[in-house]
Structure formats: structure tokens, C-alpha cells
Amino acid sequence: MLLKGYTLEIFKSKCQADARGVHCYAHLEQDVSECLPYLNSVLGGFEFLLDPPAVTFKAQGKMITVHGQKIAVNALKDETEARKIVEWLKNEINHAWAEKEHIQPSTIGMPKPGIIEILKLLPKTNCRECNEPTCMVFATKVAEGAKGPDDCPKMEEKENQKLTQYMGQFNLDL
Ligand code: SF4
């Protein structure tokens, strides 16, 4: 087993003190840097940094970055959710490491969705019914995997299908 344990640090966003939810860091007891290219292949990370190595991907509407000795997860409901996601990641890291002889390692990020492409399919009324201040902010959240076409109640069925199809090209929700 590569990763044996970690210590969780749960905190509120400093830039958005009034925002709901928490962020978390898991400080890892072992350095998992060598496993990151394998984890990237398995989970389809959209960004891979080489020095120092880090892979970022989306899962369950969260943005997750795995560094050599730290995992960062944003927009969590509470500590229970943080523990669940970090424990899942620990298993994924250990599984990728155990299976590394059968996995082609990759340091290349997957293509990302274009915010403007998403915005083109939205009603662009800035009506706020999605609880976002503008359609542009909503488009940014969709690109990050934090919101989906069904979260805009003003979208026509045709546009909803087009957006679903467009987003289906990207590995945003594992
Ligand atoms: S509900 Fe739809 S139209 Fe209204 S602001 Fe949100 S994204 Fe724009």
C-alpha cells in the first residue's frame, strides 16, 4: 500500500467567508508523486503539472487536486463529505499504484470545456433562477462540473440536449 494515512484540515474559504460549505486539505503521510501519472490515466485529470507534480480533476461536482503530499478538495458540504471523498481518493491512489504495471502513465491533461461554448447555449437573461449572479458565472460552474444543464430552469429542451451532448465529451463526473 503506497498511501497509508493522512491528516484532514477543514476550513472555510478566506476569499468568500460567507460562502456555504468548506474546503479541505488532506496532508498525506507518504509521498504519492510517482503515482500521479498513473492516477491521471485512471481518473482522466484535466490538468497535469510536472514540477512539482500535481493532477487536477473533477469528481462528484468537486474540483480535486492531488499533489505529492497533499490532496485539496473544494466546495464540500461538511467534514463527513470531505472524509468520504478523501477516503475514496486514497483507495484510487493505492489501486492505481498496485496496478501500475498494467496502466499507461500519462502527464497530459484532458481537453476542457469552453466557457463561451457553454454560454452560447444559455438563455443569457441573467435572471438568477439558478442562484448564480449571471449566466457567465453559471457557464463557468458548468465548465468546472459543479453545475449541469438541468440547473438552469430557463433553458429550452433543445439547448439542454445540446449542452448535455457537448459536456458529454469531457470526463467531468466520475
Ligand atoms: S437560470 Fe439560466 S438564464 Fe437564468 S441566470 Fe441562470 S443560467 Fe442564466
pLDDT at 169: 80
Is the pLDDT score of 135 beyond 70?
yes
Q: How far apart are the first and last CA of the chain?
A: 23
Pick the range with the lowest mean pLDDT from 13-22, 41-50, 91-100, 112-121: 13-22
Question: What class has domain 6-102?
Answer: alpha beta
Q: Where are the domains of the chain?
A: 6-102, 115-168
Q: Is 91 in the pocket of ligand 1 (CB under 6 A)?
A: no
Please give the distance, rounded to the nearest whole angstrom, from the Cα atom of residue 161 to the centre of ligand 1.
16
Q: How far is CA 120 from the centre of its chain?
A: 23
Is the pLDDT score of 145 beyond 90?
no
Q: Is 9 in the pocket of ligand 1 (CB under 6 A)?
A: no
Is the pLDDT score of 17 beyond 80?
no
Please give the distance, rounded to the nearest whole angstrom, from the Cα atom of residue 126 to the centre of ligand 1.
5
Please give the distance, rounded to the nearest whole angstrom, from the Cα atom of residue 19 to the centre of ligand 1.
20
- Report whether 141 contacts 118 (CB < 8 A): no
Nearest to 69 by CA among 30, 41, 108: 30
Please give the distance, rounded to the nearest whole angstrom, from the Cα atom of residue 32 to the centre of ligand 1.
41
Alpha helices per DSSP H over 9-71:
36-43
Q: Enter the C-alpha cell of residue 84.
A: 468520504
Q: Let me know if the fold of 6-102 is the same as that of 115-168.
A: no
CB atoms within 10 A of CB 73: 24
State which CATH number among 3.40.50.1970, 2.60.40.10, 1.10.15.40, 3.40.50.720 fits the domain covering 115-168. Answer: 1.10.15.40
